[in-house]
């Protein structure tokens, strides 16, 4: 049961994920969450640092697709200026959006990582699809209404994982 909640990796932010690290693992595609993973949930545009990170992935031949539970307007207004494909109202952790992202990028499961800030949506969804998952710390300390509820549940799960010795990293979610 706990396996679904355990990310394959944990890093502080997307900026700690380099194209070289991903290429060494045979990765050709990234499925990433948007809100509190790439930018704060209420920030409309990408930061210059994020634009540079996305460019480094593209230059390395790594495709990026945003998969978000948020609405079309939010995700499209963020992704379109960057030229990034996206899936909105993804209903993560359900698998349909993850399968669609794999199809969009024309990559195999073994060639993809899922990056996100939530155990209950990003990590569980990626793990259920047998994808490599990377948990990042939330970019902002504030959350939208539904995410606040998820965070309460996640803290309990995370504490249980830690007590059982499944958590091997220092930072806490």
Q: d(Cα 64, Cα 46) in Å, to the nearest integer? A: 14
pLDDT in the model for residue 173? 43
The fold of the 2-163 domain, in CATH, is Rossmann fold (3.40.50)
Residues of the chain above pLDDT 70, percent: 92
pLDDT of residue 144: 61
Between CA 100 and CA 110 the distance in angstroms is 15
Closest to 115 (Cα-Cα) out of 66, 156, 69, 70: 66
On the question of pLDDT at 95 being above 90, the answer is: yes
Q: With a cut of 60, say whether residue 171 has pLDDT above it.
A: no
pLDDT at 147 over 80: no
How much is the pLDDT for 125?
Answer: 98
- Percentage of the residues of the chain whose pLDDT score is greater than 90: 75
Closest CA to 28 of 120, 123, 131, 116: 131
Each residue of 13-38: pLDDT tens digit?
A: 999 999 999 999 999 999 999 999 99
**Where exactly are the structural domains of the chain?**
2-163
Asked whether 116 and 93 are in contact (CB, 8 A), the reply is: no
Confidence band of 1 (pLDDT split at 50, 70, 90): low
Number of residues that this document lists for the chain:
173
70-79, long-range: CB < 8 A, 24+ apart: 70/34, 70/35, 74/34, 74/35, 75/34, 77/44, 78/34, 78/39, 78/44, 78/45, 78/46, 79/34
Q: Is the pLDDT higher at 171 or at 13?
A: 13
* Token pair 């930018």 in the structure block, residue: 39
Which pLDDT tens digit goes with each residue over 37-79?
999 988 999 999 999 999 999 999 999 999 999 999 999 999 9
pLDDT for 172 equals 47
> Model-level pTM greater than 0.85?
yes
**Per-position b or e across 121-155, b if 16+ CB within 10 A of its CB:** bbbbbbbebebbbbbbbbbeeebeeebeeebeebe
């Amino acid at each position: 049961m706990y396996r679904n909640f355990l990310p394959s990796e944990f890093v502080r932010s997307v900026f700690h994920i380099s194209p070289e690290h991903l290429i060494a693992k045979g990765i050709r595609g990234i499925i990433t969450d948007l809100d509190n993973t790439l930018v704060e949930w209420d920030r409309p545009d990408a930061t210059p640092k994020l634009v540079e990170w996305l460019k480094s992935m593209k230059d390395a031949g790594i495709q990026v697709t945003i998969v978000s539970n948020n609405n079309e307007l939010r995700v499209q207004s963020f992704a379109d200026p960057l030229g990034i494909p996206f899936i909105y109202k993804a209903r993560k952790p359900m698998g349909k959006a993850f399968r669609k992202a794999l199809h969009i990028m024309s990559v195999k499961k073994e060639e993809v990582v899922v990056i996100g800030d939530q155990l209950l949506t990003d990590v569980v969804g990626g793990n259920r699809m047998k994808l490599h998952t990377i948990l990042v710390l939330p970019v902002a300390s504030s959350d939208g209404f539904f995410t606040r509820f998820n965070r309460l549940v996640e803290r309990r799960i995370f504490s249980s994982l830690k007590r059982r010795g499944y958590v091997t990293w220092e930072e806490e979610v």
